[in-house]
Every structure is written in C-alpha cells, then in structure tokens.
Amino acid sequence: MIAAGAGTAAGLAGGFWWWNRPRLEHAGLPPVRDPAFPNPLPLPGSDGMFGVLDVAGTVAIAAKSARHAMLPGKPARMLAYEVQHEGRKLLNPVLRVRAGATLRANLWNTLDEATIIHWHGLKVDANNDGHPHYAIAGGRTYDYQYTVLNRAATYWYHPHAHGTTGKQLYLGLASLFIVEDDEELALQRALDLRVGVSDIPLMIQDKDFDVSGTPAYAPDAEQRASGYFGREVLINLAPRPYFDAATRIYRFRILNGSNARIYRLAFRSGERLLDYRVIATDGGLLDRPYRTKEVFLSSGERVEVLLDLRAAREGDTVWLTSRAFDPMHQETGPGAHPGHGAAPDPQPQAGEHGMAHHGAAPAPQSAAQSGSLPDGAAVDLLRINVAAKVRYDRPVPATLAEIVPLDAKQGASRKFLLQREQGQWRINGLTFRMMETPIVVRRGATEIWEIRNSERSMPHPMHIHGFQFQMLSRSGSPEQQRQLAVNAQGLASADLGWKDTVLVWPGETVRLALDFTHPFNGDQVYLFHCHNLEHSDEGMMINIKVLA
C-alpha cells in the first residue's frame, strides 16, 4: 500500500518501461557544478539548522535571535526556534512524532515582542492551537500538551502573534512537524525512504536581504495590501541550491513557507516538463498517486511528490522550477496590478537552460541575477544533479490510503465573500476582533463552506485552524487552474485528500466539507484567515467558536 513512482526524468520519453532495465552499478562520477547554483541544499541531520528531533518527553523551545548564514559567507542575525537536546543544539528542528503520542513542549520567548507557536494543520484544542489571544510577552513561557490525533503527514509550526506573524516568520521562525504512523512507515520500507537522504523536505521561501546578509522585512502600504515578495527564493534557507541525486525514486515534501508568493511547481529537463506523482497534500496520503506536470502551491500549503530518476543518465540535470503564471492582482481593476506581473502567453517557449516558460515573463533566473522577482515570474528553485547510478528496483504500489468522503448532504451551508473594502481585506465584510466570534458551530456538525473571491481581488490562500477539510469543487477558475483539473468538479491533484489551506483565485468559488467533531471539553475558539501573512496581520481573519 502507499506510494507510486513519479514521472519520466532527464529528458527521456514517457512511459514506465524502466522495470525491464538492467540494474545499474554505482559509478559516482563528480557532477558538473553550476556557478549560478553554487550552494548545497541543506538537509535535515542530527543537529544544527533543521536537525531532526524525534519527540520524547518534554521539548524546551526558545524563540530567539540566532546567527546563521543564509547568504554564503555572510553570517547574520535571524530568528529561530532553538532546542538543546542531549548535547545537541538544533535550530528550527524538524519535529518527528508518532500518531497517538503525547507532545509536551515549553515555549520560552526571548524576543522583545509577543509570540506564540501555531501547530499548522494539527487537530488540537484551543489552548494548544496558538491563537494570538495566548501570545506571551518577552521573557514569558507557555506550556503545550496535546495528543497527536492527526494521520501521518507533513505539518509545520510557526508564530501566530497578531500583527507580527508575517515579520517573525519572514525573519526565520518556521519548521516542519512530521507525523508518522504504520501506513507511513510501510511506505518508507516499500520505497527505501529516509528523511534527509531520499525523503527530502523542501521549505520554499522568498526573502530580501540587507548588505550584511540579514533578512530585511519592511513592507510599505502597497506591500501590506498585496503581500511581501522577496527578491531571492531560498529552499531550506539556502539560495540557489543544488542536490546530488542517484538513479532512484525520491520523495519531496514541499512546503510553501513564503509570506505571500504562490509557486507553480514543475520539474523539467532541458525543454521537457517531466511527469511526477502527487502522493499527499496538507493532511497526508491520497487514495492513489496522481500524475501531473505542475501544481500551484500557495502560502501554508504542502504537497508531497515522487520524482522517479531511474531512467535518468548519470550527468543529467533536472530542475525544480516555478513556471510563469498570471498572479491575478486585480484588486484595483480588471487587469493586472502594476508591478506584480502580467498575464503570461499561454504558449510555452524555450527559456534559459532550455526551460519552458511564458513569453510575457522573464526567463527563469534567480532574483539576485535579475534584481527583482515579480509575483508570478518564472524562477528556477533547485538544481538536481544526477550524480550516481544505483541498483533500485523497488515495486511501486498503485494505491496509497483510504480517503473516506465526508457525508455533507445533510450539512448546513455557509457562505463567505473575500473582498477589499475601505482599504482592508475582509471576510464577509469583517476584520479581526480578538474577542468576537462571528462564526458559531456545534461540535459534531458537518458543514459545507462556499468561499467566493470577488473579481476585483487577488489570490487568497484560506486556512482554518483545528480541522482538516475535503474539497468538493472549484468553479469560475482561471484557465491556468482549470487545466490542472483531474475530475469533473474542477479539482487539481493538490486539492485532493485532507486539506487545511486552499487557494482561491479572483472570481473563483470553492466548496469544501468540514466535520467539526473533536474530543475536547468545553467551547473551542479557532481561526479562519488568509495565509498571505500581510493580509492576516492586517485583519483578514475571523474567529470560529465551536460550541461544546
């Protein structure tokens, strides 16, 4: 059970003929280095930045200032979650925990402003969710204790103090939270997957830096309205990284950890866009693998994919790239918002390094090379060097997991409108009030939510705390979204399974089903907000009260 191969690799024709190929011996010739992508991809290890911590007992987490070189040769100040554990010092540790286990964490805030940790995607009670009401001042501590009720998936954790979430995350406070269960461990055994070796987490973020290499967060009024877009895209806090791979199947756990930027993710070799398989979304494994050539991934969303390099030749190069697209900044009128990119030509053309890109957008390049990176611009993210031939003939299962559809036929329907009024982004005309709960539901209720984004708007990634949902349909979608549909309801592969964040384009309506069943005592208060963090900090967020 569990997983399937991704698409063709390294410029070779489609089709799954590789099972009949002879086994290849490891050769290990040194790969050709690209001066435009000079930095090794940081991988989770036993300590340091993104060190893997298997959670047992109580974890003491300090939110603090740290020194780290995001830009090579420029160690500079950033914010990080620091854990001292058994003689190891970990920064932004990748927390790994078994489903059903109890997590105990103590947050110590050493910052000069309030903060709190939100466990993004996890089903926890309101006291443990990281609502900004619970934000603690500098010098204070906050204790978490909860049972991990979620199925295996790639979740993440980040700050959620109101008004400063975007800044604190941008300056470094974020990492992954990996939940494992028996089904997940079976997948790892079936495909020989090991985190940091063949199971590769990729946290994608765009940032600006000052001359010292310190991340610079200073949005003006327009950037608060549209979102803060950096000029350099980093993966695991490294700009223009490369990864040396072998001729085998790799799993990539991809998180969009950017404040606002959307990515149109594809793998390509030369001019060819490669097939790959989507195997999981925000809430874990799908029912089966879905073959695609690209997905949209908005802020807060995760997608897990399999890339099959067994048919690649040693010395080949594969790129993870974000293709050009229309960012649809239409908040001031029917056309593209000035400075945020224009609608691309629908016909792809050859670009830098042979990549297919769109005529109205720049050729893929790093922002450091171009001097700017408009929203929706094409950009290469990761160079994958096929550096070694290895024996790998693991069978790829055709099914992944059972996804039981929510029975929403008798559920109440609730409508939401996303729009800009009186200089603020709003949900049903409302902005955030800490103690107001405009949405009230009863525990155990199943509801259908219809979220409509106005025409004069921009894309909004909408996130709900405390509960996962199932997407039912998309309608009124732009062509760039419609062409990714895998069913009659207009859903793309990245919309399937269990989700906690959904991208809603201008003029589009999405319908989703939510089950508000939970095991916690008393009333619970959660959040529904835009995960464009400048938008949520400015008030595009409302409370949900779940009555006992």
Model pLDDT, residue 333: 55
Domain boundary among 354, 388, 404: 404
Residue 4: closest CA among 187, 261, 199, 196: 187
Residue 38: closest CA among 73, 87, 82: 73
In the chain, how long is the greatest CA-to-CA distance?
66
User: Residue 126 phi/psi, 5° resolution?
Assistant: -60, -35
Two tokens at 463? 């996130």
Structural domain harbouring 520: 412-547
Domain boundary among 354, 372, 404: 404
* Amino acid (1-letter code) at residue 152: A
Looking at the structure, tell me whether residues 390 and 453 fall in a common domain. no
Looking at the structure, tell me whether residues 439 and 315 fall in a common domain. no
Looking at the structure, tell me whether residues 82 and 162 fall in a common domain. yes
* Spatial separation of the C-alpha atoms in residues 454 and 540, rounded to whole Å: 14
DSSP assignment of 140-203, as one string?
Answer: -EEEEEEE--SPSEEEEEEE--TTTHHHHHHTT--EEEEEE-HHHHHHHHHHT--BTTTEEEEE
User: Residue 389 phi/psi, 5° resolution?
Assistant: -95, 135
Residue 390: partners with Cβ closer than 8 Å, 6 or more residues away: 24, 25, 26, 246, 247, 248
Give alpha helix (H) positions in 130-179.
165-170
User: Could you list the pLDDT tens digit for every one of the 548 residues in the chain?
Assistant: 333 333 333 332 232 222 223 333 334 456 667 889 999 999 999 999 999 999 988 999 999 999 999 999 999 999 999 999 999 999 999 999 999 999 999 999 999 999 999 999 999 999 999 999 999 999 999 999 999 999 999 999 999 999 999 999 999 999 999 999 999 999 999 999 999 999 999 999 999 999 999 999 999 999 999 999 999 999 999 999 999 999 999 999 999 999 999 999 999 999 899 999 999 999 999 999 999 999 999 999 999 999 999 999 999 999 999 999 999 998 865 444 443 433 343 333 333 333 333 333 334 444 443 456 999 999 999 999 999 999 999 988 899 999 999 987 878 999 999 999 999 999 999 999 999 999 999 999 999 999 999 999 999 999 999 999 999 999 999 999 999 999 999 999 999 999 999 999 999 999 999 999 999 999 999 999 999 999 999 999 999 999 99
In the sheet with 541-547, reading across from the earlier edge strand, the strands are 439-442, 541-547, 524-530, 460-464, 501-504
Please give the C-alpha separations between residue 159 and each of 77, 162, 206, 234, in angstroms, as whole numbers: 18, 9, 17, 19
* Spatial separation of the C-alpha atoms in residues 43 and 201, rounded to whole Å: 8
Two tokens at 19? 């099972």
Looking at the structure, tell me whether residues 387 and 525 fall in a common domain. no
Looking at the structure, tell me whether residues 125 and 227 fall in a common domain. yes
Give alpha helix (H) positions in 453-539.
479-482, 533-537
* Spatial separation of the C-alpha atoms in residues 122 and 430, rounded to whole Å: 26
Q: Are 351 and 363 in contact (CB under 8 A)?
A: yes
Model pLDDT, residue 331: 80
Looking at the structure, tell me whether residues 152 and 263 fall in a common domain. yes
Q: Give the H or E element holding residue 129.
A: helix 126-129
Looking at the structure, tell me whether residues 357 and 388 fall in a common domain. yes
* Number of domains the chain contains: 2
Two tokens at 281? 């979304």
Q: Are 459 and 262 in contact (CB under 8 A)?
A: yes
Model pLDDT, residue 31: 65
Residue written as token pair 């950033």: 78
* Spatial separation of the C-alpha atoms in residues 406 and 469, rounded to whole Å: 9
* Spatial separation of the C-alpha atoms in residues 205 and 199, rounded to whole Å: 19
Domain boundary among 377, 404, 431: 404
Distance of CA 30 to the CA centre of its chain: 32
Looking at the structure, tell me whether residues 399 and 424 fall in a common domain. no
pTM for the model stands at: 0.89
Radius of gyration from C-alpha coordinates of the chain: 22
SS3 of 195-226: the string is ECCCEEEEEEEEECECCCCCECCCCCHHHHHH
Model pLDDT, residue 93: 98
Looking at the structure, tell me whether residues 469 and 356 fall in a common domain. no
* Amino acid (1-letter code) at residue 363: A
Looking at the structure, tell me whether residues 111 and 76 fall in a common domain. yes
Give alpha helix (H) positions in 364-418.
367-370
Looking at the structure, tell me whether residues 374 and 482 fall in a common domain. no
- 434: domain CATH number is 2.60.40.420
Q: Are 107 and 136 in contact (CB under 8 A)?
A: yes
Residue 132: closest CA among 425, 521, 433: 433
Looking at the structure, tell me whether residues 280 and 374 fall in a common domain. yes
* Cα torsion angle, 455, 461, 464, 467, sign: positive
